Each structure stands twice: as structure tokens, then as C-alpha cells.
Amino acid sequence: MDFEKLCAERYSLRKYADRPVEAEKLEKVLEAGHNAPTAHNLQPQRILVMQSREALEKAEECTACKFHAPVILVVAYDPAKAWNREGDMKNHGEIDATIAATQMMLQAADLGLGTCYVGMFSQEKLHELFPEMKGLVATAMLPLGYPAETAHPSRLHTDRMPLDEMVIRL
């Protein structure tokens, strides 16, 4: 798909079809997160793939956003592996993980899949239910799957402030 069209048409999917995501498509989505640029190429992003019924049920216990997708990707980072900016020592792991999430969302859309960036979750509950997350900080949960037949963008999807209000030209 044309990138401009892809960016404009991709939307937060909140209603998923009861159809599995093919392994090849999932791998392409994961590869997009793997290829994401990171500060000093330290690659602190970590992606947990929830596909089993047990993992999906536990993941949905961690958020009020229950969309019942066939896959949930938990995008996280290892703060010990991330770059800290000189001067104020700002850790860039969250930024790196969010760039990876964005690339995965765009790749998913290009493959005919949908996602929703879910930031409303319990970090503590994720750590409690998934010991594999020890030392990691989650930034997003990305439900992933095919749109249900009745799925559609939110009425707010195309509401955008004028570009001149967002962009400051110097």
C-alpha cells in the first residue's frame, strides 16, 4: 500500500474476527519491530507474544480494554539495555519500544491486520502474571488480528487539528 494512504487509513481496531493470524504474517509484524531504529542501536525493546488461550486470558486480566484478539503483543523494554542521554540521563527505552510498536502497527495494517495501541494496563499485574517480564517495563499492549465484518474506525478517526496548529515553522 502507498505509505501516505496506509498512514491515513490505519485505525485503532477494537473488534476482531474469530480468525487466527497466520504465522508468516505474525513474523513479518515482529520483524518490523525488530528492525525499528533505537538510540545507539542498543535494541532494548522486547516483545511478548500472547497466543495461547491461557496467555490471552491472563493478558486481558491486566487491562480494561478487552477486544478478544487472537494475538496480543506486549511491547516492553529493558531499561538496563537502553541508552541514557548525556546530561539529564533520560532513558530512551520507552521511546525505542514505542517506535517498534508503531512500525509493527503499520506493518500489520499493510498485511490486512488490525491493531490498537493500548496504554491502559496494569504494569504490576503484567509482572505478577508473566514472570518472563522481570526487569522489563511494558509500554503498550497491541491486540492483533483481522477486523470483524462490523469493525470500523471510531468517529474521531479523521478528526485532526489543522496542520498549521500542530507545526511550528521557524
Q: What is the pLDDT, as a whole number, of residue 145?
A: 98
Q: What is the pLDDT, as a whole number, of residue 155?
A: 85
Q: What is the pLDDT, as a whole number, of residue 1?
A: 66
Q: What is the pLDDT along the chain (170 residues), one digit of tens a residue?
A: 699 999 989 999 999 999 999 999 999 999 999 999 999 999 999 999 999 999 999 999 999 999 999 999 999 999 999 999 999 999 999 999 999 999 999 999 999 999 999 999 999 999 999 999 999 999 999 999 999 999 988 888 888 999 999 999 99
Element housing 66 (H / E): none
Per-domain residue ranges for the chain? 3-166
DSSP string, 117-160: -B--B-HHHHHHH-GGGTT-EEEEEEEEEPBPTT----TTTT--
Element housing 3 (H / E): helix 3-9
Q: What is the pLDDT, as a whole number, of residue 110?
A: 97
Fold of domain 3-166: NADH Oxidase (3.40.109)
